[in-house]
Structure 1
Amino acid sequence: MNEDVRLVAWVRGHVQGVGFRWFTRARALETGGLSGFALNLADGRVQVVAEGPRESCEALLDWLQGDDTPGRVDGVTEIWDTPRGGYEGFAIR
């Protein structure tokens, strides 16, 4: 069973000004079946919201927590929820 879910992740570290949102969007599109956005926050974090199959959201989260991201990720906090919909593709905000 691979139900649709909503992942909200806050990524800490040196993740602004390094192409992090662009690469996150590319990874979300590459993973497939995901919609949502990546947004720079005023405190230096990047917020990632992804909706789609649980397996795809878990793959995106694994990438966010891994060593293959641009910049430097010091930590990721995530919340899982039910999808809310309303996203067209995966946007950079």
Structure 2
Amino acid sequence: MQKVKMIASGRVQGVGFRWSVQYLAAEIGGIYGRVWNNEDGTVTILAQSENSAKLSQFIQEIRKGPSRMAKVTYLDVTLANFETFSDFQVKQWH
């Protein structure tokens, strides 16, 4: 199981970004995790997958901005250790 923490900067709040991330995870399949807004205007994504190719695809799509209105100017991606998820949920705030 590969797990990553991503912090997206840019126009990522108030543009449907979190919901697009959740939709993207379902579209790719096998991606589980959480996504939420941060007080500083960034968005945090915790994502995991058994399939490293799918996780790489997910990260690449996030870099592009998964919604038409969003614009990701920077995406910090780090390997992380967090609880194992069995779904992908949008959180209001962490």
TM-score w.r.t. structure 1 length?
0.86
Instruction: Check conservation: 2:8, 2:42, Cα contact below 8 A.
Output: yes
Q: CA deviation at 1:68?
A: 4.9
Q: CA deviation at 1:72?
A: 1.2
Once residues 58 and 6 of structure 1 are traced to their aligned partners in structure 2, the CA distance between those partners, rounded to angstroms, is 11
What's the Cα RMSD here? 1.6
Equivalent residue in structure 1 for 2:8, among 8, 11, 26: 11
Which whole-Å deviations, capped at 9, do the CAs of 1:9-55 have from their partners, x for residues lacking one? 00000100000000000001111111101110010001011111211
Instruction: Check conservation: 2:63, 2:75, Cα contact below 8 A.
Output: yes
Instruction: Check conservation: 2:35, 2:43, Cα contact below 8 A.
Output: yes
Once residues 88 and 66 of structure 2 are traced to their aligned partners in structure 1, the CA distance between those partners, rounded to angstroms, is 20
Q: For 1:1-93, what aligned pairs fall within 5 Å after superposition?
A: 4-52=1-49, 53-66=51-64, 68-69=66-67, 70-81=69-80, 84-85=83-84, 87-93=85-91
Aligned-pair identity in percent equals 24
Once residues 92 and 37 of structure 1 are traced to their aligned partners in structure 2, the CA distance between those partners, rounded to angstroms, is 6
TM-score w.r.t. structure 2 length?
0.85
Q: Which runs of 5+ in 2 are unaligned?
A: none
Paired positions, count:
89
Summarize the Cα distance change of 1:48–1:67 in structure 2 as closer, same or farther, 3 Å threshold: closer
Which residue identity is paired with 1:50? A
Runs of 4+ in 1 over 3 A off after TM superposition: 67-70, 81-84
